[in-house]
């Protein structure tokens, strides 16, 4: 099934350095390997979905610079439609500076650049991209008013909507009523609601209008919650070397599962397998698995 999935969000270049441990405040450490990778939550999720077999269109902004050119070439090479990726003359392309420790944990600082010039007006100009999309995916590395406009347009066009609320921040209540699947991790769930109790936080989001909340719990799996049920998805046990983009692998694969009319549980299992594979590799987009790899992994596990 080749159903169109529309991903709206950030495009960054990731500057990644490995280190024995993550630096503390005021600490200088000697790092190891340095690599440059295409990244940004929006682009990562688009690539994750494309490698899982989807027909993907990307909406977003980059600078008219070498990094912007590099990101556009990379998306095209992945088979992603970039007709609605703006290259902006006066802005730099977004950059993420990432440190990864020996256990695969990371810290990330993002200089958003062109991502934060991506306005609701840009969405209105790109409204043709929403035509025929069955699933719409977005995140919070672009301005919240732009996210809101994208969700409105997606619902008007009959798409299923997925919001990955990362990085977590305050959102207008209207956002929640436009979201079919809200997929935060544990920290984002707490920051989004101000609640430390997981059940209370989930219920708050459901009460605000979200149809389904899926909380990713890393090595502890995931929780799927609706107004009528709550269920656990166990994690696949693997040796993690780099957790960058694990959430993006999950979101991209989940979007594919939903577009293929899998049940929510089946889509979440597919997504968990993709995320598990991704953490066994270094980098963001380089770690994202292909559909054949995920299917082989599921047969073995």
65 is catalytic: no
Confirm whether residue 161 is marked as ligand binding: no
Distance in angstroms (rounded) separating the CA atoms of residues 185 and 166: 9
Confirm whether residue 54 is marked as ligand binding: no
Indicate the helix (H) or strand (E) that contains 162. strand 160-163
Confirm whether residue 157 is marked as ligand binding: no
Distance in angstroms (rounded) separating the CA atoms of residues 56 and 148: 21
Confirm whether residue 150 is marked as ligand binding: no
Distance in angstroms (rounded) separating the CA atoms of residues 275 and 48: 10
Confirm whether residue 74 is marked as ligand binding: no
- DSSP category for residue 287: G
Nearest to 220 by CA among 233, 238, 239: 233
Residues with Cβ < 8 Å from 287, sequence gap 6 or more?
242, 244, 245, 249, 277, 278, 279, 280, 281
Confirm whether residue 180 is marked as ligand binding: no
Confirm whether residue 60 is marked as ligand binding: no
Helices (H), 194-263: 198-207, 246-259
Confirm whether residue 287 is marked as ligand binding: yes
Confirm whether residue 61 is marked as ligand binding: no
Distance in angstroms (rounded) separating the CA atoms of residues 134 and 120: 21
Options 81, 180, 248, 296, the catalytic residue: 248
Confirm whether residue 185 is marked as ligand binding: yes
Nearest to 143 by CA among 10, 259, 4: 10
Confirm whether residue 20 is marked as ligand binding: no
Distance in angstroms (rounded) separating the CA atoms of residues 12 and 83: 18
Nearest to 67 by CA among 33, 88, 92: 92
Confirm whether residue 244 is marked as ligand binding: yes
Rounded (to 5) percent helix, strand, coil in the chain: 40, 25, 35
Strands 4-8 and 94-100: unpaired
Confirm whether residue 44 is marked as ligand binding: yes
Confirm whether residue 219 is marked as ligand binding: yes
Confirm whether residue 220 is marked as ligand binding: yes
Confirm whether residue 14 is marked as ligand binding: yes
Annotated binding site: 12-14, 40-44, 141, 185, 216-221, 242, 244, 247-248, 278, 281, 283, 287
Annotated binding site for ATP: 185, 216-221, 247-248
Give the active site residues.
Answer: 248
Annotated binding site for substrate: 12-14, 40-44, 141, 248
């Amino acid at each position: 099934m080749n159903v169109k999935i529309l991903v709206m969000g950030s495009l960054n270049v990731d500057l990644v350095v490995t280190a024995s441990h993550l630096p503390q405040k005021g600490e200088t450490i000697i790092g190891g390997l340095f690599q440059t990778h295409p990244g940004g939550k929006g682009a990562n999720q688009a690539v994750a979905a494309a490698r899982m077999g989807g027909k993907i269109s990307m909406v977003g902004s980059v600078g008219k610079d070498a990094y912007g050119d590099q990101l556009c070439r990379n998306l095209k090479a992945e088979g992603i439609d970039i007709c609605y990726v703006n290259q902006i003359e006066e802005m730099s392309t977004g950059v993420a500076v990432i440190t990864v420790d020996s256990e695969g944990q990371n810290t990330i600082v993002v200089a958003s650049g062109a991502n934060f010039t991506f306005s609701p007006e840009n969405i209105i100009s790109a409204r043709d991209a929403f035509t025929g999309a069955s699933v719409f995916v977005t995140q919070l590395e672009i301005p919240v008013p732009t996210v809101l406009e994208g969700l409105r347009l997606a619902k008007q066009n009959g798409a299923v909507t997925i919001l990955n609320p990362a990085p977590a921040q305050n959102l207008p209540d209207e956002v929640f009523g436009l979201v079919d699947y809200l997929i935060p991790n544990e920290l984002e769930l707490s920051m989004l609601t101000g609640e430390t109790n997981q059940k209370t936080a989930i219920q708050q989001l459901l009460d605000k209008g979200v149809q389904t909340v899926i909380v990713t719990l890393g090595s502890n799996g995931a929780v799927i919650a609706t107004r009528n049920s709550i269920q656990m998805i166990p994690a696949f046990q693997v040796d993690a070397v780099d957790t960058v983009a694990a959430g993006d692998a999950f979101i991209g694969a989940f979007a594919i599962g939903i577009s293929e009319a899998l049940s929510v549980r089946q889509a979440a299992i597919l997504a968990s397998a993709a995320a598990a594979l991704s953490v066994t590799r270094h980098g963001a987009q380089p770690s994202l698995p292909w559909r054949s790899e995920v299917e082989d992994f599921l047969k073995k596990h």
